[in-house]
Amino acid sequence: MKTIQFREAIAEAMSEEMRRDESIYLMGEEVAEYNGAYKASKGMLDEFGPKRVIDTPIAELGFAGIAIGSTMTGNRPIVEYMTFNFSLVGIDQIINNAAKIRQMSGGQFNCPIVFRGPTASAGQLGATHSQAFENWFANTPGLKVVVPSNPYDAKGLLKAAIRDDDPVIFMESEQMYGDKGEVPEGEYIIPLGVADIKREGTDVTIVSFGKIIKEAYKAADELQKEGISCEIIDLRTVRPMDRKAIVESVKKTNRLVILEEAWPFGNVATEITYLVQDEAFDYLDAPVVKINTADTPAPYSPVLLEEWLPNSNDVIKAVKKVLYK
């Protein structure tokens, strides 16, 4: 094992796959000459050249369309958005073309493409740069949605995403790029659609994904001091969702708290809540509690932003609520 940063795990995954398959290329703003806005493509231009590591204008709709079209001629592009807030400029191409090519061509074409970049908030960036769209993309048939929370998962899942023959939305975080973690020296792949139990427990199940799961870890450490045992599930892949892992855990703990950095209406936590009441209702000893951001655009003020975001104290309160403590 070696210890690397999250950004290095992303770069390693892309580089290893590009060495393996010449049809793979990377396209996006500042991915080449600048080594990536977050240095997640450092050194790739030098190794693969400007035909496979391509700087684009600030034109997300245009380069998304070029990349999607290129899949129909045998290419397997990776498109980097500086943040997924900017993917809204190109979302017509993602929803109406990438997600539908296989069906609308009667299976004659697939669309092996990865759209990757940061999601959700990253400090004082304002309302238009602090949005989480996992549920938007996961609502669309034809798309797979991946949100890793650490370097090990990021590398293994990105390699799987690049090899997938369908479009994958791969969502990272500006605030995770400097995170360090252990990654195997050799090749490994983590299959899409498989959740991971990050912490075994018996009293309550906490389901989360992405960078916000760190607040669940903090809460579980504090609750353990009070004798409360939390099981923490990292979804890793939002769609396809590992429904079995969630249901089996709830059957064991009989209580569920869901932590998600997203607006509360119609989000991923809502889908999980429906799943559990549908498939494990008789096992529940308390209503499901979901923890989300406030139902407003993200504030710029640091004081308001702290209140807007879910935190470990929110998780502790939710756990005690379902335990009637």
The rounded average pLDDT for each run of 10 residues, N- to C-terminus, in the chain (325 residues) is 98 98 98 97 98 97 98 98 97 98 97 98 96 97 98 98 98 97 97 98 98 98 98 98 98 98 98 98 98 98 97 98 97
Q: Which residues touch 227 (CB under 8 Å, ≥6 apart)?
A: none
Residues 135-194 have pLDDT tens digits of 999 999 999 999 999 999 999 999 999 999 999 999 999 999 999 999 999 999 999 999
How far, CA to CA in Å, does 94 sit from each of 2, 42, 144, 192? 36, 26, 12, 19
Candidates 8, 29, 80, 129; catalytic one: 129
- Based on the residue annotation, tell me whether 129 is a catalytic residue of this protein: yes
Residue span(s) of the chain under CATH 3.40.50.920 come to 196-323
pTM to 2 decimal places? 0.97
Position 90 scores a pLDDT of 96
What are the start-end ranges of the H helices in the chain? 6-20, 44-48, 60-71, 91-93, 101-104, 134-138, 151-163, 213-224, 243-253, 268-279, 302-308, 312-322
Burial annotation 192-225 (CB, 10 A radius, 16+ → b, else e): bbebbebbebebbbbbbbbbbbbbbbebbeebee
- Based on the residue annotation, tell me whether 47 is a catalytic residue of this protein: no
User: CA angle 41-45-51, nearest 5°?
Assistant: 120
Candidates 29, 60, 80, 174; catalytic one: 60
Residue span(s) of the chain under CATH 3.40.50.970 come to 2-183
Third-level CATH fold of 196-323: Rossmann fold (3.40.50)
Complete DSSP assignment for 21-77: -TTEEEEETTSSTTS-TTSTTTTHHHHH-TTTEEE--S-HHHHHHHHHHHHTTT-EE
Residues 228-241 have pLDDT tens digits of 999 999 999 999 99
CATH of domain 2-183: 3.40.50.970
Residue 115 to residue 267: CA distance in whole angstroms: 20
Q: Is 68 left (phi over 0), alpha (psi -120 to 50) or beta?
A: alpha
